[in-house]
Amino acid sequence: MIRNSKNKKETERDIVVKVCLGPGGIASGGERVLMAFKEETGKRGIKASFEPNCSVHQVGCMGLCSKDVLVDVLQNGKKTTYQFIKPEMVGRIVEEHIINGRVVEEWTVREDYNAFYGKQMKVVLDACGKIDPEDIEAYILMDGYESARKALTKMTPVEVIEEVKSSGLRGRGGAGFPTGKKWEFCRSQKEETRYFICNADEGDPGAFMDRAIIEGNPHSVIEGMIIGAYAINAKEGYVYIRAEYPLAVKRLGIALGKAREKGFLGKKIFGTDIDFDIKIKLGAGAFVCGEETALIASIEGRRGMPRTRPPFPAQKGLWGKPTVINNVETLANLPLIIKNGAKWYSSIGSDGSKGTKVFALTGKIKNTGLIEVPMGISLKEIIYDIAGGIEKDRTFKAVQTGGPSGGCIPSSMIDLKVDYETLAKAGSIMGSGGMIVLDETDCMVAIAKFFLEFTQKESCGKCPPCRIGTKRMLEILERITAGNGKEEDLALLEELGGKVKVTSLCGLGQSAPNPVLSTIKYFRDEYEEHIKNKKCPAKVCNALITFSILESCNGCGACRIACPAVAITGEKKKLHRIYQDLCIKCGACFEVCKFSAVEKL
């Protein structure tokens, strides 16, 4: 009989169905797919005598988001992954695959799946997409909380810190500061009251790494916080997370509650004399609150604005007490380091950048999603092996790493190794892990303007270099993309960018010019084309585009009907015309023409 069971360890005869209910899976209808599997297996179990158990449950992000809804069926030790699953497809999968053992081949992920995962190395994401994030027993079956138990009962705080230092783990939030050294610095403070904070305020456009970890395996983050709090002797912790991430907040809240029930949080955890508990603090979505001191101000109930350092948070942080702040991915590494040892972890990655890195891989690629790769892997391997290359077989132009504070790396540097030092030398940063791939249809000036618009808007306004400097830089970029650029603008942008970087108060302002400076460095000819010839080579900047109708026009009238400015005239079956003084450059005519009779110059 087929049963919808959970909280049990599966045998080889069991059949396990896992439905992706990460944000991509939910957006694609994953909840309805999950319900369809439960209904179908329940119905079949009543009608047929079928011995193995069938467990149907939700999991977090499986990674290959472009193929959602993804469904894994595990049977006889073999995993089959289905893509683009809809509720109406479930009955056939249950009938043919689960009951009769015949895989529905035309619905499976094959070549793309193998390529996408072939060069990845799942460490932090190992359990994401495998376990139900709301089921603590599923995490425990994967040795969950055993690392925290080991640290608290068999290791001293100093031994824990030394293990983390020896591993080479660096903060995954952007700056890459050695995690063990930060803990050691905090523990050395004389003040006895200390706090431990998880920074889950992930606000980069296109970034969803930390959110996916919490949504897919929140217990790994909680366990990491327990280990860190023990190391610095903190009794109280906070997870600072955006209120606009309701799924992550929900699953984190459930996980905290179940951890308390098990005695992993609260008083005398793991049967020791150690007390530690965690509170959730919801952020309002200010990008600047990803900066440590602004985050602390927000938790304290003040406006999220950074302050000068020193003193550093490890000296004087939350409520004026020594405080360690680590981001989600950093914390999720800790249980694995304690479990497998520093030597194991330091064997992964490059000389100065140990371990793996999780990236949100997006942009003009065939396979978008959440990936985890060893430090030191090349951009080429990520873009062409894992991501499957550029969509529509267009030409790769650049990759933007590190979110709005990162830089754009040109195609000529595609063999670049992905680690902290190498990216910094190229004028970019690792950041928290955003990676956006650009192709020939992207305008690098417009890209720089897009990211600067974001950072300028998100500036807290406290320091003049960031508040005023980014505004002046944005005004120059707006002038260039509007066709009013001047030849001296590039030198002015470089001068302003350099001064904003070295004089801004916090990391937001110090890194805000990166997209502009890197695109000027590697794509100067594109800026010059905008300024000197008043042309946008990628045909993106509306003010520099001209739409015209070719002689091949058959007078179908589609462009005339679509034009919101009534700038197109013409009789049926006769050549139409665009009045340029009325044209608002919206591109509607270009989009609707089925005969390639509208030219975009």
Strand-pair partners of 178: 170
pLDDT at 48 over 50: no
pLDDT at 288 over 60: yes
Contact 538, 443 (CB under 8 A): yes
pLDDT at 49 over 50: no
More confident residue, 113 or 397: 397
- HSE at residue 239, side-chain half, CA atoms within 13 A, is 32
231-241 pLDDT tens trace: 999 999 999 99
93-140 pLDDT tens trace: 999 999 888 999 999 997 777 889 989 999 999 999 999 999 999 999
The domain segmentation of the chain, as residue ranges, is 2-110, 143-346, 356-439, 444-532, 546-600
Query: How far is residue 332 from each of residues 135, 329, 336, 345, measured CA to CA in Å?
Result: 17, 5, 8, 13
pLDDT of 46 reads 42
Beta carbons within 8 Å of 506's beta carbon, 6+ residues apart: 288, 291, 293, 294, 306, 463, 466
Q: CA-CA distance, 59 to 299, in Å (whole number)? A: 31
- Model-level pTM? 0.91
Which residue, 365, 413, 357, is CA-closest to 386? 365
Contact 247, 26 (CB under 8 A): yes
pLDDT of 13 reads 59
pLDDT of 369 reads 93
pLDDT at 6 over 80: no
What are the two backbone dihedrals, phi and then psi, of residue 527, each rounded to the nearest 5 degrees? -65, -45
Contact 401, 423 (CB under 8 A): yes
Q: CA-CA distance, 220 to 332, in Å (whole number)? A: 5
Four-CA torsion 400, 403, 405, 408, nearest 10 degrees:
0
What percent of the chain has a predicted confidence (pLDDT) above 90?
A: 85
Peptide bond into 69 cis (omega under 30): yes
pLDDT of 114 reads 82
Four-CA torsion 289, 293, 296, 301, nearest 10 degrees:
-70
What percent of the chain has a predicted confidence (pLDDT) above 70?
A: 97
128-143 pLDDT tens trace: 999 999 999 999 999 9
Contact 404, 430 (CB under 8 A): no
In CATH terms, the fold of domain 444-532 is: de novo design (two linked rop proteins) (1.20.1440)
Sort strands 547-549 and 598-600 into parallel, antiparallel or unpaired: antiparallel
Q: CA-CA distance, 462 to 305, in Å (whole number)? A: 7
Extended beta strands in 60-204, E state: 71-75, 78-82, 195-200
Four-CA torsion 254, 256, 261, 262, nearest 10 degrees:
120
Contact 202, 290 (CB under 8 A): yes
pLDDT of 52 reads 56
Contact 504, 496 (CB under 8 A): no
DSSP secondary structure string, 89-113? Answer: GHHHIIIIIIIT----GGGB--HHH
523-574 pLDDT tens trace: 999 999 999 999 999 999 988 999 999 999 999 999 999 999 999 999 999 9
Contact 473, 500 (CB under 8 A): yes
pLDDT at 5 over 60: no
Confidence of residue 45 (pLDDT cuts 50, 70, 90): low
pLDDT of 50 reads 47
The correct answer on CATH 3.40.50.2300 for the domain covering 546-600 is no
pLDDT at 51 over 80: no
354-380 pLDDT tens trace: 999 999 999 999 999 999 999 999 999
1.10.10.10, 3.40.390.30, 3.40.50.720, 3.40.50.11540: which CATH number matches 143-346? 3.40.50.11540
What are the two backbone dihedrals, phi and then psi, of residue 266, each rounded to the nearest 5 degrees? 105, -140
Ranges of H-type helices in 170-279: 179-187, 209-216, 218-232, 246-261
Q: CA-CA distance, 326 to 198, in Å (whole number)? A: 5
Four-CA torsion 123, 126, 128, 130, nearest 10 degrees:
180
Token pair of 538, please? Answer: 């990628």
Greatest CA separation found in the chain?
88
pLDDT at 455 over 80: yes
Mean pLDDT of the chain: 92
pLDDT at 297 over 50: yes
Beta carbons within 8 Å of 58's beta carbon, 6+ residues apart: 18, 19, 21, 30, 34, 132, 133, 134
Of 6-15, 298-307, 309-318, 437-446, where does mean pLDDT reach its minimum?
A: 6-15
Q: CA-CA distance, 358 to 596, in Å (whole number)? A: 42
3-state secondary structure of 219: helix
pLDDT at 581 over 80: yes
Token pair of 575, please? Answer: 């050549």
Q: CA-CA distance, 171 to 99, in Å (whole number)? A: 47
In CATH terms, the fold of domain 2-110 is: Glutaredoxin (3.40.30)
**356-439: CATH class:** alpha beta
Give the count of beta carbons closer than 10 Å to the beta carbon of residue 503.
Answer: 14
Confidence of residue 279 (pLDDT cuts 50, 70, 90): very high
